[in-house]
Amino acid sequence: MPDADDLRYQVFVSSTFRDLQEERQKVLQAILEMKAFPAGMALFPLADDDQFEFIKREIESSDYYVAIVAGKYGSIAADGTSFTEKEYEYALQMGKPVMAFLFHNLGDLKGTQLEDAPEAKAKIAAFREKIRNGKLVKFYQNSDELKTQVWQALTHAFKLKPGQGWVRAKKASGIEDLQEINSLQKRLIELEAENAVLQASVKDPRDRLAHGSDAARWTVQLQPERADNPEPSVIMFTTTWDEVLAACFAQEFPEAEAAFVLHGRATLLNSLPEAANSKASRPLHFASEELERIFKDVKRQFLGLSYVDVRMHGNNEYWTLTQEGKLQIALLRGATR
């Protein structure tokens, strides 16, 4: 019988995909550094019910199960349950040692890291509460702390609840064992490559958002110019995200005023030479619903970039620059070498 040093365990990692890329990458690092094999649906971001049958087999063949849950509920299966929750339930059903890690304070999350729809919010709250009542639950505040917690939890589990694992090639008893080990070694190489790609791509997920001198474009309907000609004209509104940011924070104002300033400032309108029906010699009048649509796009972008915090004052919604937003404004207005 092989001793503990000859065993290689398989650890199934369950999480939502887009919001937890950095956390998942850190957990994969921990598992690989422990010379174990990571597995999980997070490595296959396209989820469907047929694929879940494959995932069930992966859970069955795994020795341990790790769940990472923050503010997103994840992709929904046909029965209305997220694949992440279905994985969690199946791991419990199979009697796998389950280790769950919850992001500590949802108030620290912003934008796309949280659910918007009331139904999804209720589901993630219920799922978090279900996990909270489990046997082994820990709370993390950042990806580095999560990596340490996963390392500690797995080290403890490997000692107290040793799984079946996979044996080293030198301890294999037959051709089938050697073939299985070769397959696992190939898989480990693939996973290490995946880990390297993830590490390079998720240093800051916000880098994937348009910002700075990247173009901000909208196709916008204008208000009719004359009552006898109700047909609205259309222009291509083109500027940069830096220009939008600078226009929004020329001063502090309620959101309703920000929409007017954003679309009325000459600095922005003068950057629209590509208008489909360009009449730059006179003012452009935007329909109110168009202002609202574009303003929501801008708000979503700046929240995603962590440039702004949003707060209510009376019936008005104000934007406040974060430290990152203040730095970006300073770079726009200050001298550079």
Residue 14, classed as helix, strand or coil, is strand
Q: Look at the block and give the residue holding tokens 């880990």.
A: 195
Residues of the chain with pLDDT > 70, as a percent, come to 68
- Determine how β-strand 308-313 pairs with β-strand 316-321: antiparallel
Q: Look at the block and give the residue holding tokens 């801008």.
A: 298
Mean pLDDT of 299-325: 82
| Half-sphere exposure for 235 (CA within 13 Å, toward CB) | 24
**What pLDDT is stored for residue 152 in this prediction?**
93
Report the C-alpha gap between 285 and 317 in whole angstroms.
24
Report the C-alpha gap between 12 and 76 in whole angstroms.
20
Which range is most confident: 39-43, 204-208, 280-284, 292-296? 292-296
**What pLDDT is stored for residue 41 in this prediction?**
61
* CATH level 3 topology of 209-333: Arc Repressor Mutant, subunit A (1.10.10)
CA distances from 275 to 268, 269, 292, 306 (A): 13, 10, 20, 31
Listed by start position, the domains of the chain span 4-206, 209-333
Give per-residue pLDDT as tens, 83-97: 999 999 999 999 999
- Residue 1: pLDDT band by 50, 70, 90 thresholds? very low
Rounded to the nearest angstrom, the gap between the alpha carbon of residue 156 and the centroid of all alpha carbons in its chain is: 30
Give per-residue pLDDT as tens, 140-176: 999 999 999 999 999 999 988 888 887 655 555 554 5
Tell me the CATH number for domain 4-206: 3.40.50.450
Least confident of 19-28, 43-52, 61-70: 43-52
Phi, psi (5° rounding) for residue 55?
-60, -40
**What pLDDT is stored for residue 274 in this prediction?**
44
The chain-wide mean pLDDT, for the chain, equals 77
Which range is most confident: 5-9, 32-36, 317-321? 32-36
- Residue 99: pLDDT band by 50, 70, 90 thresholds? very high
